[in-house]
């Protein structure tokens, strides 16, 4: 692999983990004093699950985007990668809304928008690089679960 490809991979990994860091910073403001006071469904995962799951997902999404980036000749490449960065922003925004603003209702509305953006990325990635789309599926699945969980938390605490 060329030097440029390695740098691009590192760039996508950095972008994903920067988004995660922004979300993590917002989460840290409320995960201790506020989040434990919320009513949650019985199927809410324990807190220790979220770190490893998100770390894995950020790595998978970065590799998926990198695989698409390598298809320089594909006419949809730029749009697919633009959607990748849009969803990264929406990903970070969710934590800012849910934990930073302590607004499960607003976060629930936003996670639905995020889910649609992820579906768009999945379709675009699938047209360009099938393995990239397969790498994207766990993220889509986790955000599907997270949206249902967010909706349940909002409903239980309204």
Q: E strand or H helix at 146, and its extent? A: helix 130-156
Q: Please state, in angstroms and rounded to a whole number, the distance separating the CA atoms of residues 102 and 26.
A: 10
In this predicted structure, the answer to whether residue 1 has a pLDDT above a threshold of 70 is no
Give the number of other Cβ atoms within 10 Å of residue 148's Cβ. Answer: 14
Q: What average pLDDT does the structure give for the chain? A: 97
What is the pTM assigned to this prediction?
Answer: 0.94
CA atoms within 13 A of residue 45's CA, in its CB half-sphere: 13
Average pLDDT over residues 61-66: 98
Residue 48 has what DSSP assignment?
G
- May I ask the CATH architecture of the domain 3-156? Up-down Bundle (1.20)
């Amino acid at each position: 692999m060329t030097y440029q490809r390695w740098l691009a991979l590192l760039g996508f990994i950095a972008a994903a983990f920067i988004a995660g860091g922004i979300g993590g910073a917002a989460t840290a403001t409320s995960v201790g004093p506020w989040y434990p006071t919320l009513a949650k469904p019985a199927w809410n995962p324990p807190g220790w699950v979220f770190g490893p799951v998100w770390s894995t997902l950020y790595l998978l999404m970065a590799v998926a985007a990198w695989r698409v980036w390598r298809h320089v000749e594909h006419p949809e490449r730029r749009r697919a990668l633009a959607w990748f960065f849009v969803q990264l922003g929406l990903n970070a925004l969710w934590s800012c809304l849910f934990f930073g603003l302590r607004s499960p209702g607003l976060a629930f509305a936003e996670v639905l928008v995020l889910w649609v953006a992820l579906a768009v990325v999945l379709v675009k990635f699938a047209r360009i690089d099938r393995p990239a789309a397969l790498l994207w599926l766990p993220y889509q699945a986790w955000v599907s679960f997270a949206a249902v969980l967010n909706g349940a938390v909002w409903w239980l605490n309204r």
